[in-house]
Amino acid sequence: MPFPLDLIALGDPLTNLLFLVVGVGFGFMLEQAGFGRSTKLAGQFYFTDFAMFKVMFTAVITASVLIYGTAAVGLLDMRKVFVPGTYLWPIAVGAFILGVGFVIGGLCPGTSIAGAATLKIDAMVFLGGVVVGVALFGVTVPHFMDFWTYSDYGRLTLPDWLGIPSGWVVLVVVVIALLLFWAAEIYEKRSLDLDPKDAPRGRYIGAGVLVALALVIVVIGDPGTKDYWSVVSAEQQVRLDNREVQIHPGELLAIMHDKGKNVIMLDVRDQRDYNQFHIRAARQVDPTLDAVEAVALDDLSDVNNRTVIVTMSNGEEAATDAWKTLIANNVINSYILEGGINEWLEIFGEDADPKPVNYPDQLAFTFTEAIGGRCIASDPDHHEFELVYEPKVKIAAAGAVVGGGCG
């Protein structure tokens, strides 16, 4: 069972305590590494001290291995981990400004807090500048909001950008880091008269462990929809068996005309049946795991919380499989059309001719031509029907996402 990230919410006492413990621990480690001293950090930019590079890059690759490793074995749901949005050019400009400030002051926001906690005057002055800068930014940002939100790439990670499994990305990053560490030691030996033999030999063991764990992540691979479904199946299968998610055609029709709700209908039938007849505004999606998964991840991952998603097929079989895929990929407010298109036509398709079917998910009506959504039955007038059914749609808000900041 993955760690319940949904329980982490701003304002919750236990969450605040967790933040306090992590923050104090992070500050303590910064001070222990000597990063509360501006002279030590400034040495990084003059190539006289590589401690910051080594410590921070070690933290990056260690965190990468642990995060993606726990995700690979099912202990962490990476989809619920907060990743700040990527705004390419605003980030580039901000990084440049932060870098200039880092060189001038010898500190960054996180290390200035660690230095101020140990009563270093320069760190206190730097921290005061940070507070003033944040305040000025808050006052002036409306004047350059267009640039601030420019080049929005959304939630973007290296595996997403490169289109390769996360395990390979982690392995490459770890190897690059180790090569850079090796290059730094060569430079220190030649230019700073520092002998690598004086460094702890345990670093070789740590490097080997990180590479080995990265290789394990590569072998395990990224979790997929079937893995995510196995995690939630115990709870969701009960809802499915109790018919809590199969909504009556009358309820779908009511939602279609409810101005307070949005509805996205996914018709997971083949193109032939979809062309024969479909509910107006329904989107045809191939009834395959990959196709439905792509819709869930690309189009439905950030839909409005007032949006209801309804899957449909001729009966319920393919629609149920699609629903499971949506649920496994955290698409909230997902439902199944009860009885599928066949039951819809039984109620609203006065001119449709029934035909015998050989299996439950086969279209049970014939048409003289492929009418698609060009008939009254595809979008009937909800005022003309008085249908009795049990309403089942309940709008559920998405789980809280907790953001993070820069040290």
d(CA 206, CA 164): 26
If asked whether residues 219 and 234 sit together in one domain, one would say no
* Average confidence score pLDDT of the chain: 89
251-295 residue pLDDT tens:
999 999 988 889 999 999 999 999 999 999 999 999 999 999 999
CATH code of residue 369: 3.40.250.10
Query: In this structure, are 20 and 158 located in the same domain?
Result: yes
Q: Give the dihedral sign, CA 365/368/370/372.
A: negative
Please give the tally of structural domains in the chain. Answer: 2
Tell whether 151 and 231 lie within a shared domain: no
Which domain, by its residues, includes 172? 5-224
On whether both 56 and 118 belong to a single domain, the answer is: yes
Closest CA to 62 of 209, 222, 217: 209
- pTM of the predicted model, to two decimals? 0.73
Q: Are residues 234 and 133 in the same domain?
A: no
Q: What is the pLDDT of residue 173?
A: 96
96-106 residue pLDDT tens: 999 999 999 99
pLDDT at 401 over 50: no
Which residues, 6+ apart, have CB-to-CB distance to 242 below 8 Å? none
Res 407: pLDDT:
45
CB 372 within 8 A of CB 275: yes
404 found inside a domain: no
- What confidence tens digit (pLDDT) does each residue in 321-352 have? 999 999 998 898 999 999 999 999 999 987 67
Element (H, E) at 220: helix 202-220
Residues 261, 185 within the same domain:
no
pLDDT score recorded for residue 6: 61
Do 262 and 290 fall into the same domain? Answer: yes
Residue 390 has pLDDT above 90, yes or no: yes
Q: Exposed, middle or buried: residue 249 (CB in 10 Å: 0-12, 13-18, 19+)? A: buried
Return the number of other C-beta atoms located less than 10 Å from residue 190's C-beta. Answer: 9
What DSSP character marks residue 141? Answer: G
User: CA-CA distance, 401 to 18, in Å (whole number)?
Assistant: 15
Residues 282 and 155 in one domain: no
Rounded to a whole number of angstroms, the CA Rg of the chain reads 28
pLDDT digits over 286-325, tens only? 999 999 999 998 888 778 778 999 999 999 999 999 999 9
What does the pLDDT look like over 16-62, one tens digit per residue? 888 899 989 988 988 888 898 998 988 888 899 998 899 889 999 99
Instruction: Assess whether 155 and 245 both reside in one domain.
Output: no
- Model pLDDT, residue 224: 86
Q: Which one is predicted more confidently, 76 or 254?
A: 254
- Asked if the structure places residue 283 within a domain, the reply is yes
